[in-house]
Amino acid sequence: MNSTSAEPLESSSPRRNSKRPKYSRFTQQELPACKPILTPRWVISAFMLVTIVFVPIGVVSLYASRDVVEIVNRYDDSCAPSGSRSDKVRFIQSPADKTCNRTLSVPKYMKQPIYVYYQLDNFYQNHRRYVKSRSDKQLRNRNDEDDTSTCKPEDTTENGTAIVPCGLVAWSMFNDTYSFSMNNNVQLPLTKRGISWKSDRDRKFGKDVFPKNFQNGKLIGGAHLNESIPLSEQEDLIVWMRTAALPTFRKLYGKIEVDLQKGDTINVVIQNYYNTYSFNGKKKLVLSTASWLGGKNNFIGIAYLAVGGLCFVLAMTFTIIYLVKPRRLGDPTYLSWNRSPGGH
């Protein structure tokens, strides 16, 4: 009778639930792992390794940048007539002749291809409203011609017809033109094929999409487009539509596929149409060769040399401290991961 009465008492008593998780070497982070001890020798060796790797890369990068020949010519001020320099905005908006002649001298031998860029300063293509004022669907697909909801204020004409390509980005396309000749009046051929990214031509601009109602309004923003050529073949537009991240940028205009010798004189005829005067912008014409690292850019080489030099200074500093005033290291056997976990 006592045994039968004890069974209900045991079943009715509450169980003590423990919140302690089941022991596991994985959950307790006790699996074998690489836990190096940063001794002075290891630290000095690491800094010296970075120095040995970074300094040669910096030197090679600077030499590659030095071999790039670059001609930069600012022409926005010079191409404004002397009588109109007090009111350049009025001049650029007038129907006056905007032909401008510039003379460039080749400082060093320039091997083809020679890349021709236009550079704009103080032009914020990264402004949020400007970047969003475009329709990528419309650029890709002819059936999305009326997809202009994101293109305001350059979305439709006064009668409601869609503008192709729509938006402020396309509307403000650069429209200065350049033609080049040598000192003996021999024309330098300028190639415009292949100046844009192939991925942009194949994927972002449709082969069956043609310009329509473009720059037909009262206010003209920039270049006109040939309505008989599809957008995928209008490479000046494709280059312009890849917006820049900084207010000073260069965009590829064309390529000169002729070698230029030191001392050659290049005559440039510029049609100065693009209005940068209203926002205090600058326009520059750039002729440049390229190396295996790209265009002229000393920053990469200087950055590698700076980091390598800093690591060398730190390595030498730690070496002197280690030799002059060494510090005895503790016994690594007392580290927690070198001891077996207590109670397991």
Question: Is the pLDDT confidence value at 105 over 90?
Answer: yes
Output the furthest CA–CA distance in the chain (Å, rounded).
Answer: 127
Looking at residue 337, its pLDDT comes to 62
Looking at residue 344, its pLDDT comes to 47
Same domain (yes/no): 48, 120: no
Same domain (yes/no): 115, 157: yes
196-217: average pLDDT:
91
**Cα–Cα distances in angstroms (integers) from residue 84 to residues 33, 79, 174, 181, 221, in the given order:** 75, 10, 22, 28, 21
| Identity of the residue numbered 23 | Y
Confidence class of residue 13 from pLDDT cuts 50, 70 and 90? low
217: in domain: yes
Same domain (yes/no): 58, 118: no
What pTM was computed for the model?
0.79
Q: Which of 343, 303, 334 is nearest to 65 (CA)?
A: 303
Same domain (yes/no): 193, 234: yes
267: in domain: yes
Q: For 282-319, write each residue's pLDDT tens digit.
A: 999 999 999 888 888 899 999 999 999 999 999 999 99
Question: Which residue range(s) make up the domain with 317?
Answer: 39-68+293-323
Cα 236 to the center of its chain, rounded Å: 18
29: in domain: no
**Residue at token pair 């030498």:** 316
Six-digit token pair at 153?
Answer: 């204020």
Same domain (yes/no): 173, 212: yes
Same domain (yes/no): 246, 130: yes
213: left (phi over 0), alpha (psi -120 to 50) or beta: left
> Are 91 and 84 in contact, with CB atoms under 8 Å apart?
yes
Q: Which of 150, 147, 177 is nearest to 164 (CA)?
A: 147
* DSSP at 342: T
